[in-house]
Amino acid sequence: MGRIRAPFGVRGWVRVQSFTDPPANLLDYSVWNLSGPSGLEERRVQDVGMHGQWIVAKLEGIEDRDSAETLVGQDIMVLRQALPETSEGEYYWQDLVGMEVLMNRNGTSLGVVDHLISTGANDVLVVHNSRERLIPFIASVVVEVDLKGRRILVDWDSDF
C-alpha cells in the first residue's frame, strides 16, 4: 500500500509514499502492518494527512525523530479484510499474481503472472515462462479472469 520514506519533523512523524490510486486512499486505514526486521509489526495510525504529494503520519509508539528513522524503508500493508470489496470486473493486483495465463484459442500456457505494472494508459501483466511477456490488461485482450481456477484467458499471440 505504501512505503515509509523519511522522518518528518522531530516528534515521531514519518513521510510516506502511497502506492494506492489515488494516493490519499491510504488515509482510510487506521492500522498499518509494517515490514520490520522481525517480520510484520502492527501500528495504529494516530494522525495522518497529506503534505503536498506525500502522506505524513504519526504512528502509535513512535515519539521522536530517532524512532521514526528506524521505520524508513518499511513497506506498509493492511489486512485483506480491511480492503473494500471489488466490483464486477475489478481485481486487486495481488489476486492476479501467480495465475496461469492461457491463450483462449488453443489453451496454450503463456506462463504465470509475476507482477503487474501501470503504464498510465493501462495496467500490464508481466508473465514469466521460458521468457517474459508483457500483456496489456485491457478488455480487448483479457477474455476471462477465473479467480477460483487461478487462470486468465487472453486473446494474445504466443509470438508476442
The string of pLDDT tens digits covering residues 92-114 is 888 999 999 999 778 899 999 99
What is the model's pLDDT at position 142?
95
Please state the rounded mean pLDDT for residues 11-23: 92
Which residue among 82, 104, 137 closes a domain?
82
Are 20 and 59 in the same domain? Answer: yes
Please tell me whether residue 93 adopts helix, strand or coil conformation. helix
| Residue 79: count of CB within 10 angstroms of its CB | 12
What's the whole-number average pLDDT of the chain? 92
The b-or-e profile of 89-99 (16+ CB within 10 A means b, else e) is: eebeeeebeeb
Tell me whether residue 32 is in a domain: yes
Look up the domain containing 147 and give its range.
93-154
Task: Provide the domain count of the chain.
Answer: 2
List all residues 6 or more positions away from 92 whose beta carbon is below 8 Å from its beta carbon. 83, 86
**Tens digit of pLDDT for each residue in 132-142?**
999 999 999 99
Domain assignment present for 78? yes
Q: Are residues 38 and 104 in the same domain?
A: no
pTM of the model: 0.70
